[in-house]
Amino acid sequence: MASILDFAAAQKPIYHQERPSKTGLLDWLTTVDHKKIGILYGGAGLFWLMVGGLEALLFRIQLAKPDQHIFIGDTYNGLVTMHATTMVFLAVMPMIAGFSNYFVPLMIGARDVAFPRMNAFSWWTFFAGSLTINASLLFCGAFPAAGWTGYAPLTTSEFSGMPIDFWWAGLTLLAVSSMVAGVNFVVTILNLRAPGMTLMRVPVLAWMMLVIQFLLAFSFPPITVGLILLAFDRTFGTVFYSTNMGGDPHLWQHLFWLFGHPEVYVLILPSMGIVSEILPVFTRRPLFGHHAVIFSGVFIGFVGFGVWGHHMFTAGMGPIADAAFASTTAIVAIPTGVKIFNWLGTLWNSKMTFPTAMLFAISFIPMFTIGGLSGMMHASPPLDLQQHDTYFVVAHFHYVLVGGALQGLFAGFYFYIPKISGKMLDETLGKIHFWVFLVGFNVTFFPMHLLGNHGMPRRIYTYPADAGWNTENLIATGGVFLMTAATLVFVYNLLTSLKNGKDAGSDPWDANTLEWMTTSPPPVHNFDFTPIVLSERPLWDHKYTPGFEIPVPEKAEEIHMPSPSWKPMWVSASAGVIIVGLLTFNGVLGIPGWPLCIVGAVGVILSVYAWVSEPV
Amino acid sequence: MSAHAENLIHDDAPGHEGHGALSENNFLGLPNIKLAMWAFLGSECMFFGSLIGTYFFYHGNSLGGPLPKDVFSIGITSISTFLLLMSSVTMALGVDAMKQQKPLTARTFILLTAALGATFVGFQVFEFHEFYTEKHLALSTSLFGSTFYTMTGFHGTHVTVGVIWLVIMSILITKKKLVPGKEAVNVEVMGLYWHFVDIVWIVIFTFVYLLEFLK
């Protein structure tokens, strides 16, 4: 291997902006650079991961022994609700958005996303939403406590107080943010690919991101409608969820799970993509069944819209609906199995190396498979009737979301942070993180299978000593401390690496895809020249396959980069004012809401006008 | 670039020219903004699908009157429906004028479209007022009141947003910030949105209003 990554010989591009970038804090507030927005998303995700983890730690302490009274009643319910809401919407989704923002344009050889200012709008709207949900602690002294699924009529004003208003308001903002991001990235991935990058040459991670962007764009509207109806019930006295006016509790469940199940695939598919990127690099061979992995991901995305009813087998939908949803759910096992066997095929008989990224990627496979298999049990209505709302379900989705999604994201962090910071993470600390986390995770969640089968229901704050659940609960709580310790090791590793880490260089892993061809961290314009893609593994073939060198253009490219802008934040802030206006419409916080709504609406119109008139 | 590389690209990649500015970069040969609008309209289908679905989920479940048949007056709604449909004609003429490099003609049609849309919203306000004061149907009266006002209200909001958009576009044309040629696509994309909102109304008018009177 020659020093073949010597793109430095290429002419430096001439790049210009309408208005120059600012520096320091102003730059972060007005940035439209996908890399900076990616870092913002990722940082926010890690922060909320800590918060969500702390919430879990607190309620696991409560459950460690029988008959404890540390966090009881609505405090306990609030911790459980916010643990799930935080982990799903504020931790894992923004971390995915972070990877998607930072790496999708790099992977497809683009300079930025299709709509950079819309991207900033998504980020600021997410930011406003995350603060709104948690603001209930500040204004009401309590968390929303109706479970992350927010089943109406439990969430109507008859049964739930003010914190739920913060919950629907924040989630509505997050839904808008995700929907806009979905549209933006669909266009980015379909339209901004480098020349020669046909759909089958798009890296698997970018493919999975494409699938989830469709899921985001099409699955968020139902929950937006559900949340709007809830907001109207609580604010304007509509009767959607009011059973004494003929309202049907099924309505919320249908709207929520029509969003909720595609959402599950939004959480897992990116991790599958990350694993599909990492395994080939450290086995030094192409991904086994590359096309099958892509198509199965697309198939999972499609089927994801037809399985929501399996969350409602106990809700009384009737035998025909139950049977239909049972079959569609069972079908999901096929594309998932295809992926698992392709990963195993990639590993089989290969000469592997085991850096931390690879360890997480490998352990993703069995941990996710355990969660997938217990998931298949729930596809069967009779079994599900037994397991519904027991700890068996809790064990199932934590194996999928922690053993699967989160481990995949950790793998992604170890693999990709050198590209973001230019510094390697420490491998020793990384391996400590991995092993402690893996053990802690299994110690926490494996006993929950047993607890569920012994009949322990979810969402109870304590249990009697003679129920036979004592040992498993104590073990599970112990495991949470291990997971906490492991995560702290990771954060320490991350922070110290920024200062002391070894220089990564552009291609520390000898990898396959375009993002490794540019410097670490990449320049604002990503690539000095637009790469031309000649194969599925453009960088690998550039290095090792004669005749597939990425051609370097002779003359320098002229690049126009989008200018920084305040307008996305203005629109987000105005939208936030509308939401706060609705939230306080009846004057609950001592301020009448309707003037805020008007101010917000006028603000949206004016800032959109400023947005479209602004030269980019 | 080697001949080998040239072949590899031309075998697979359709129509690739300059790739300097972001806006020029498009792999599918479809402008970014148009693709974005189609994706957004897909999302909107799910939005209105959920709202209209909710209406039918609760159809006939109201515990008390007034019922749809008691409040709808097909005559008046037919007039507003007709006006909204005509606004699609003027919208199409506006898009066409913009493509033919006639910005002032386009502006006339855009403003006409906005006027027709605003008239439709006016009819809706009148209808809501009538239902509320004469027929005693409020948001909180029954499931019908809640679902009907929310569904048609969100449609009306979409028309209103469209009217604001049309007005902003005509201002931009007047100020010569929106010139025909490359930016004609912006008017076309607005047209896509407008036609979509129209189609949603056709669905609502047919299934919510007219089917009520089917024996």
Asked whether residue A336 carries a pLDDT value surpassing 60, the answer given is yes
Contact check, Cβ <8 Å, B51/A225: yes
Contact B22 A195 (CB under 8 A): no
pLDDT on residue A78: 95
**Is A503 part of any domain?**
no
Type of residue at A275: V
Lowest mean pLDDT among A269-278, A395-404, B3-12: B3-12
Look at residue B4 in the predicted model and tell me its pLDDT: 52
Q: For residue B23, is pLDDT > 90?
A: no
Task: Look up A12 and say whether it is catalytic.
Answer: no
How large is the average pLDDT for residues A137-155? 92
Of B12, B143, B164, the CB nearest to A196: B12
Residue B21 pLDDT exceeds 60: no
A404 domain residue, yes or no:
no
A462 noted as active-site residue: no
Residues B61 and B70: their CA atoms lie apart, in Å, by 15
Domain assignment present for residue A57? The answer is no
pLDDT digits 0-9 by tens, B124-163? 999 999 999 999 999 999 999 999 999 999 999 999 999 9
Distance separating the N- and C-terminal Cα atoms of chain A: 42
SS3 A351: coil
Q: How confident is the model at residue B213 (pLDDT cuts 50, 70, 90)?
A: confident
| Cβ–Cβ < 8 Å for A79, A58 | yes
Q: Cβ(A227)–Cβ(A171) under 8 Å?
A: yes
pLDDT digits (tens, 9 = 90+) for A224-263: 999 999 999 999 999 999 999 999 999 999 999 999 999 9
- Look at residue B25 in the predicted model and tell me its pLDDT: 56
Of A395, A562, A550, nearest to A4 (Cα)?
Answer: A550
pLDDT at A606: 94
Q: Which of residues 144-183 of A touch B (CB under 8 A)?
A: 179, 182-183
Work out the burial of residue A88: count CB atoms within 10 Å of its CB; fewer than 13 is exposed, 13-18 middle, 19 or more buried.
Answer: buried
Residues B120/A213, Cβ–Cβ less than 8 Å: no
The catalytic residue among A111, A254, A339, A419 is: A339
User: What is residue A4's predicted lDDT score, i.e. its pLDDT?
Assistant: 53
**The predicted structure's pLDDT at residue A5:** 60
Which chain B residues in 143-182 lie under 8 Å from chain A, judged by CB atoms? Answer: 143, 145-147, 149-150, 154, 164, 168, 172, 177
pLDDT per position as a tens digit, B58-70: 998 999 889 998 9
* Cβ atoms of residues A507 and A7 within 8 Å: no
Count of C-beta atoms within a 10 Å radius of residue A495 = 10
Q: What's the whole-number mean pLDDT along residues A294-309?
A: 95
> Of A185, A218, A251, which residue is a domain's last?
A251
* Residue B214 confidence (pLDDT): 83
Is B142's CB within 8 Å of A114's CB? Answer: no
Q: Mean pLDDT throughout A108-118?
A: 93
Categorize the per-residue pLDDT at B177 as very low, low, confident or very high, splitting at 50, 70 and 90. Answer: confident
pLDDT above 70 for B10: no
pLDDT digits 0-9 by tens, B24-51 = 457 888 899 999 999 999 999 999 999 9
Residue A190 lies in a domain: yes
Active site (annotated) includes residue A148 = yes
A10 lies in a domain? no
Condensed to tens digits (0 to 9), the pLDDT of residues A551-564 reads 888 888 888 888 89
Q: Is A592 on the interface with B (CB under 8 A)?
A: no
Confidence category of residue A10, pLDDT binned at 50, 70, 90? low
The residue among A190, A221, A251 that closes a domain is A251
Active site residue A83: yes
Residue for token pair 């028309």 = B159
Residue of B nearest to A549 (CA): B5
Boundaries of domain holding A606? 568-616
Per-residue confidence at A590, pLDDT binned at 50, 70, 90?
confident
Neighbours of A462 (CB within 10 A): 17
Total domains in the fold of chain A: 2
A276 labelled catalytic: yes
Q: Is the pLDDT of residue A14 over 90?
A: no
Of the residues A238, A555, A598, the best mutation for testing chain B's interface (the one with the most B CB atoms within 10 Å of its CB) is A238
Residue among B46, B55, B161 with most chain A CBs within 10 A, to mutate: B46
Find chain A residues with C-beta within 8 A of B4's C-beta. Answer: 547
pLDDT of A215 over the 50 cut: yes
pLDDT at A433: 97
B176: number of Cβ within 10 Å:
8
A269: left (phi over 0), alpha (psi -120 to 50) or beta: alpha
Which one of B22, B27, B146 has the shortest CB-CB distance to A239? B146
> Of A148, A414, A461, A509, which residue is the catalytic one?
A148
Q: Is the per-residue pLDDT at A391 higher than 60?
A: yes
Report how far residue B2's alpha carbon sits from residue B5's, in angstroms, rounded to the nearest whole number. Answer: 5
Confidence at residue A561, expressed as pLDDT on a 0 to 100 scale: 85
Query: How far does B80 lie from chain A, in Å, by closest CA?
Result: 26
Test B22 with A562 for CB contact under 8 angstroms. yes
Residue A407 half-sphere exposure, CB side, CA atoms within 13 Å?
Answer: 33
Contact criterion met (CB below 8 Å) for A272 and A296: no
What is the residue-wise DSSP string for A289-308? THHHHHHHHHHHHHHGGG-G
Q: How confident is the model at residue A587 (pLDDT cuts 50, 70, 90)?
A: low
Report, as an integer, the average pLDDT of B84-108: 95
Per cent of chain A over pLDDT 90 is: 83
Q: Residue A34 has what pLDDT?
A: 95
Residues of B in contact with A553 (CB under 8 A): 1
Residues in chain B closer than 8 A to A193 (CB atoms): 27
Residues A192, B61: C-beta atoms closer than 8 Å? no
For residue B13, pLDDT beyond 50: no
Phi, psi for residue A559 in degrees, rounded to 5: -120, 130
The model's pLDDT over A522-550, given as tens digits with 9 standing for 90+, comes to 988 898 888 899 899 999 999 999 888 88
Last residue of a domain, one of A236, A251, A266: A251
Q: Is the pLDDT of residue A2 over 60?
A: no
Q: What is the pLDDT of residues A51-84, one digit of tens each?
A: 999 999 999 999 999 999 999 989 999 999 999 9
pLDDT at A349: 92
Tally of CA atoms within 13 A in the half-sphere of B14 that contains its CB: 8
| Residue A41 maps to a domain | no
Q: Do B43 and A221 touch (CB under 8 A)?
A: yes
Give yes or no for a contact between A561 and A17, defined as CB atoms under 8 angstroms apart: yes
pLDDT at A172: 95
**Separation between Cα atoms, residue A218 and residue A216, nearest integer Å:** 6
**Do A583 and A565 meet the contact criterion of CB atoms below 8 Å apart?**
no
Q: How many CA atoms lie within 13 A of A101 on its CB side?
A: 30
Q: In the predicted model, what is the mean pLDDT of chain A?
A: 93
pLDDT of residue B29: 82
Residue B215 confidence class, pLDDT cut points 50, 70, 90: low
| Count of helices and strands (H, E) across chain B | 7, 0
What DSSP designation does A423 have?
A: B
3-state SS, one letter per residue, for A202-263: CCHHHHHHHHHHHHHHHHHHHHHHHHHHHHHHHHHCCCCCCHHHCCCCHHHHHHHHHHHHHH
pLDDT of residue A260: 95
Report the distance separating Cα B68 and Cα B211, nearest Å: 10
Residue A157 lies in a domain: yes
Is B1 an 8 Å CB contact of chain A?
A: yes
User: Per-residue DSSP letters for B51-96?
Assistant: HHHHHHHTTT--SSS--HHHH--HHHHHHHHHHHHHHHHHHHHHHH
Do B142 and A553 make contact, defined as CB atoms within 8 angstroms?
no
Q: How far apart are CA B151 and CA A409, in angstroms?
A: 40
pLDDT at A586: 72
Residues of B whose CB is below 8 A from A195: 9, 13, 16, 19
Q: Tell me, yes or no, if A224 is annotated catalytic.
A: no
For residue A490, which of A419, A567, A430 has the smallest C-alpha distance? A430
B11 vs A: CB within 8 A: no
Q: Rounded distance, CA A155 to CA A167, Å? A: 10
Q: What is the mean pLDDT of residues A360-370?
A: 97
- CA–chain centroid gap for A384, Å, is 27
Residue range A205-213: average pLDDT? 97
pLDDT, one tens digit per residue, over A440-498 is: 999 999 999 999 999 999 999 999 999 999 999 999 999 999 999 999 999 999 999 99
Tell me, yes or no, if B13 comes closer than 8 A to chain A by beta carbon.
Answer: yes
Residues B32, A187: C-beta atoms closer than 8 Å: yes
**Any catalytic annotation for residue A396?**
no
Residue A522 tokens read as 């990449």
Residue B1 to residue A551, Cβ atoms within 8 A: yes
Residue A39 in tokens:
């870092």
Task: Decide if pLDDT at B19 tops 80.
Answer: no
Would residue A280 count as lying in a domain? no
**What part of B 48-107 touches A (C-beta under 8 Å)?**
49-51, 54, 57-58, 61-63
CA B59 to CA B77: how far, in whole Å? 20
Return the residue in B9, B26, B43, B183 with the most chain A beta carbons within 10 A, the one to mutate for interface testing: B43
Active site residue A525: no
Active site residue A112: yes
How far is the C-alpha of A106 from the C-alpha of A515, rounded, in Å? 5
pLDDT of residue A3: 45
Q: How high is the pLDDT of residue A353?
A: 95
A414 included as an active-site residue: no
Residues shown for chain A: 616
A190 touches chain B (CB under 8 A): yes
Contacts (Cβ under 8 Å, ≥6 apart) of A305:
A218, A219, A258, A261, A262
Domains, chain B, ordered by start: 31-213 (1.20.120.80)
- Name chain A contacts of B142, Cβ cutoff 8 Å: 239, 245-246
B22/A560 CB distance under 8 A: yes
Set of chain A residues whose Cβ sits within 8 Å of the Cβ of B42: 217-218
State yes or no: cis peptide before A521, omega within 30 of 0.
Answer: yes
